Structure 1
Amino acid sequence: MATATEKPSETSSAKMFGGYNKRYKHWSPTLGCSMAFSVYFPPSSSHKFPVLYWLSGLTCTDENFIIKSGAQRAASAEGVALVAPDTSPRGLNVEGEADSWDFGVGAGFYLNAKEGKWKNWQMYDYVVKELPKVLSENFEQLDTSRASISGHSMGGHGALTIYLKNLDKYKSASAFAPIANPTNCPWGLKAFSNYLGNNKSDWEEYDATCLIGKYNKITAPILIDQGEDDKFLQEQLLPHKFEEACKSVGAPLVLRMQPGYDHSYYFIATFIDDHIKHHAEVLKSP
């Protein structure tokens, strides 16, 4: 069995826009299983690259963003490395882990589960603590002290909540179609009740709309893009609830409603350059 300090093993590599998409596997003590993550390294530079973490949505792996988003063009030009972790533990064979697409495998919700059956679902600690340590110890070309975070849907929820709770670790945040108020939507109710139990105060610790009032000392505006033709908009995503919460505490938010766009990676690919540039400005500022 691998140890916490063992170097991740490279499983694939492909050149793109002068840099390289690389995929790695490593043993995660936090999750108790082998995990994969993908990194896009921009073309070689005399300077270390700042890091933009991307958290993907329900059913996704670390590869969806790397393959579908086209983010590498802007990341190459801006000199920002992209890091995409997987969305949940895998291979643990917990009863019921694959019974539905919106819970269990591929649906970690970037929280630390409290219910015993799901004790390995510690994606918050994996993203916030373990993965940055793995990167800083094994990739000298990355400057993990300069980091920002973004994501889509469930991953947008993860990006917003992780950012708000760790303003000392991330310089900016953005999201595409985030689950912005999970304590009030079916996806969130299902995930939180099963992972966290019935204590609603535990749920609120993973709800950006609830957190913004607690952690509102934000300097860089949060950028959110939301497709107006997204079939999940009204029932699951609730970005306007987050917008209202931001306004109530004076937190800087740019919420862009995009006419005609849906929930897919076609939507993400259309606006991803804006997000890369949004983060690059902050990451590269003195």
Structure 2
Amino acid sequence: MPTKNLHANASSFSSDAKPVAPRARRRASAQAGARAELPDLTASVSFDSHEPIGKQIFRALREAIFAGQMVPGTPLSEKEVSDMFQVSRQPVREAFIKLVEAGVLQVLPQRGTFVKRISPRQVREGRFIREAIETAVVRKAAVSITDEQLQALADNLRDQKLAAKSNDTAAFLALDEAFHYAIAQAIDCTAAWETIQDIKAQMDRVRYLSLPDVSPLDLLIKQHAKILAGLRAHDPSAAEEAMRSHLREILMSLGPIAERNPAWFDADEPERVPLST
């Protein structure tokens, strides 16, 4: 599998996304809820693509929210977005519905549609579900993964190191997505990855906020290397444990990130049965 396929098949965090610097993010946090101009996302949509325009708009808005280009409280209107992309309101409405389902937009009656704050509880729930799926995937992959697929993952890991060296968090996140997607590809079960896209939406927002201050890129790369080592050894238990440890990293960063960015987060609602252990 060529390395470029790992980039092409990742469904989130385009390397073209413009990351928000930590200081700028903190300023934006303090201003959450204030009226702000929407970022120009027209470059994210191609009318020559075979992909439905509504799906492209959905992804463009979702990535902008993940990257902090639209802070919690940012208002969105179908007219404003349809004017930006020069399309009818129907594909925009479809994108809004999917973003509400993903938990990143909320509709307030008589007030409008706004970027939603992050729910710590939903972050933990998403991580719990993602762990259940991806540990099962990586166990199977450890048995059946080919040398060619292992090489593609190794190439991806090399590119992660280059992105970290240049402090390119957007590129790193795109490679991170591609790394996990490729493991699902290794067992011919990309539906597993597609299933968790909306489930992990809140996780992805926290991940972006945590880089590189709380979750250093070098640490995440070492965790990916352990996953790859388990796959290379064709050791399902080692691969599973490495994946589990990697996905639990967010539990360590969630508290500090919420404290640093209070305007981004809802008040926490602990689960009756803790999902963090």
Per the TM superposition, whether the score is higher than 0.5 is no
Tell me the TM-score range normalised by the shorter chain.
under 0.3
Structure (1 or 2) with the greater helix fraction: 2
With CA pairs under 8 Å and 6+ residues apart, which has the higher RCO, 1 or 2?
Answer: 2
* TM-score normalised per structure 2: 0.28
Higher-Rg structure is 2
